[in-house]
Structure 1
């Protein structure tokens, strides 16, 4: 078996890359270790930069996004019993859109299959050869080898692609907290996201739809999920979101809950021979900056353009520049995500001096147009 591009991983990065290549007339095969039901129903948040929504529309999968996505023109920083709005669109001319990663995956799977795309679910990748490019995998009880021109490793942080790159240099940081995220069948209590800093810990009020809310609480990394019954979650959320003007949090049935550790991670370079890493296979950001999915979209957009240039003209200049091009954006997003995380979370090891500095910084961002613009510019996303 042979294809032009073998794509390891059928998450949003791998599926979008396959779609972008298809639009350029380039063949690909997507190898995904999980079954289709798991891939299409794995719960993930989705705050999309304007550049990401533009890419999805241009790739032909923007119809449901435009119909159901929730466009936001601002966000709220909440601390000291008061809210402070950051007017994203007024400051940058750009917007963000809430549309769950889960739904993006459904859209991409449906579009690729309708176009005759080759997605092989439950395909366990056994070996990647980056030099004489091929991927060996087990599917339906048999072992196969897929020969190709290039391999795209889009299989996430725990995938097999990154270990196939020799001599990687890695950079990482683990944070002393995690997020307890819940999905609740209750209309959101806000029209825009609320990022709340509180002495008891960070909280985030996001939206999934006009009838479904997504909320997060800062907890310890070793937190026991069983120690958080629904009543305790709602009580803690209400305490951290409380304002002096009596704002009230709506409560409803919680349909999903999970604890997510927080880390920053970058692997360099993002290419070895004919193997290219993209998305979480190469980098992880804490979710505070809402950059994970957007970085993956940026990576595969750069890669798709580079491959299109290679097949159109024979030039490999864009492929040669792939790692450096992507890493420039990755490190900017890493810094912004780190900055948002340390600005808003309660560090259990912080002394009083550090806490006062943190509060002073929050006051500055809320009162300075220059500081607010810097936050807004990074949040809506730098141009692709």
Structure 2
């Protein structure tokens, strides 16, 4: 039986789908499309495997959701999908219905936009079959949780330049959260611009912190999630541990979930690095699902939270649209390595944590080329 899927999206959910695609375009150059019985999974990962994002659209999100013939995972060039949903304002004003069809017999993903006045736009996108793209992370194992309205965080990061690469988040048990721009150690203090902003504990919907923590992550991907959550009116949960461990940003609703997993800058303190480097992983054994060079650690978890109260009136300015910028690369080894193209002291720990790839038989694959010495 030929595998296929048919999804029909109507109303405001068309724009929500478009915003999800725009957020994923901040992560990687390919969109992983996986329809399952419990919903449609849209995923992406950057080339260095230091940033991963997943949107889960439940069957309730669609007017019609039909999956036939089993699974049919595929990946599509991101710019091709982005061209369909490029103008979000036009989607809201002119598009009345969006139909997505995937048929493995024709090897095409067809997206049709039914607009006003009987206009129909049909996009036939080629795709490549692949294995399922999944990352191992368990937010419930992260001891620190911050939850706030997206508007609060959006109005906070608006004070940083759109060209800023990384931002440092510092949280203390006393109830103070600080956001500041990350500055390289060798930067001349007289030429560096320092921006720091503090938020009180009362600004957050949830504040769980065991001890003082400070993490540094890429701002570009975070802004992509902020734009989506702010437009949807959904709060954002931040799950993190120590520096060097992935930080998980989560947005959840009754009909969708979004998870962004970002690598953080490793702590320069050797004593801090001696802590467990995998607090966010569900077990000690890492399983992989291979996709040639496009693979990630397997399995994810979901989050749920109570309804959110009105946003804080601390800020009032909107979030600007960030300019295109290359994402900072990450390391794929447990030991810290210098990253080409970045200052020597900038070391991002990837999501792998020294794991290995396994084939279906459980045997390690042959190493065809040793890692470069950087």
Smaller-chain TM-score bracket? under 0.3
Question: What is the TM-score when the length of structure 1 is the normalising length?
Answer: 0.26
User: TM-score, normalised to structure 2's length?
Assistant: 0.26
Which structure shows the higher helix fraction?
Answer: 1
